[in-house]
Amino acid sequence: MSIDDPSVHVDLEPTPVAPRTARSFLAAHLGPVDPDSAYVAALCASELVTNGVLHARTHIVLGVTMGEQRLLVTVGDRAGGTPYPPPQDDERPSGRGLMLVAALADQWGVTEELDGKTVWFTISRTRT
């Protein structure tokens, strides 16, 4: 990724429509990307935005930076704390979002900030 790579952001309110809005925003701004990469980006972003809606309950910012070979997707909120994937539990009805991101993204992580956190992931523009 380079500082010159194009980047776009959208502000989301923590409401049930935020994940759908995030998916639509990604679809409109990804540019030429392999369909599998677009699907992975949409799924992972949707999961992270859903986590923001359910747990942070604050303003959410979704960002996408389009590098030559990789996409960087960020989901920021104003809640403190570092999210971690929970232990595997097949009986739990939810709580698999971070596990999906960890399994599907090439890289992912959390950047803690003074006024919240940003969860990010990268994926290749072409899936192999």
Averaged pLDDT for residues 25-54: 92
| Domain assignment of residue 73, yes or no | yes
Model confidence at 86, in pLDDT bands (50, 70, 90)?
A: low
Is residue 46 in some structural domain? Answer: yes
Domain of 94 in residue numbering reads as 7-115
Most confident option among 53-62, 94-103, 119-128: 53-62
Query: What's the pLDDT at 6?
Result: 86
Question: Are 126 and 37 in contact, with CB atoms under 8 Å apart?
Answer: yes
In-domain check, residue 17: yes
- Looking up residue 69, the CATH number of its domain turns out to be 3.30.565.10
Predicted TM-score (pTM) of the model is 0.88
**Confidence (pLDDT) at 20:** 96
Number of structural domains found in the chain = 1
Q: How far apart are CA 24 and CA 42, in angstroms?
A: 9
Mean per-residue pLDDT of the chain: 87
Q: Which two tokens stand for residue 52?
A: 């923001």
Q: Is the pLDDT of residue 98 over 90?
A: no
